[in-house]
Amino acid sequence: MDSISQRKIPVQEGLFTWPAAEPQLIASKCKACGDVVFPKQLSCPDCSGDEVEEILLSRRGTVYTWTIQNFPPPIPPYAGSGDRDTFVPYGVGYIELPEGVRVEGRLTENDPEKLSIPRWTLRP
């Protein structure tokens, strides 16, 4: 790899702290109703209040639900080779953060036997 391909750049400015040893997602919190929104917004989508503050979201949360990506997604946006023979399945899920926000992301685990869905997320 050359130096350009090794350089890490954010997909979009303002989504998370960068550069940082431990990046955090950047959200907004409404000063009127406390609603937290990611990505951050200039006003509150819940009460339409325009007094919001920027907050950094927790780096850990609880898996809300998940799935395993078992085949290469279309290119783009997938950044891999697209080769089915070398593709390594990976987990994708929604994570519930302590601030009350759910974010979607790639999981560090891809073994379905090691993943579960908490009972509180399942409907009766």
Residues in the site for Zn ion, rule: CB under 5 A? 30, 32-33, 35, 44, 46-47, 49
Residue (30 or 55) nearer to Zn ion, CB: 30
Picking from 69, 57, 61, the residue whose alpha carbon sits closest to that of residue 109 is 69
Tell the smallest beta-carbon distance from residue 11 to Zn ion (Å): 27
Residue (27 or 44) nearer to Zn ion, CB: 44
Picking from 21, 38, 20, the residue whose alpha carbon sits closest to that of residue 30 is 38
Tell the smallest beta-carbon distance from residue 86 to Zn ion (Å): 47
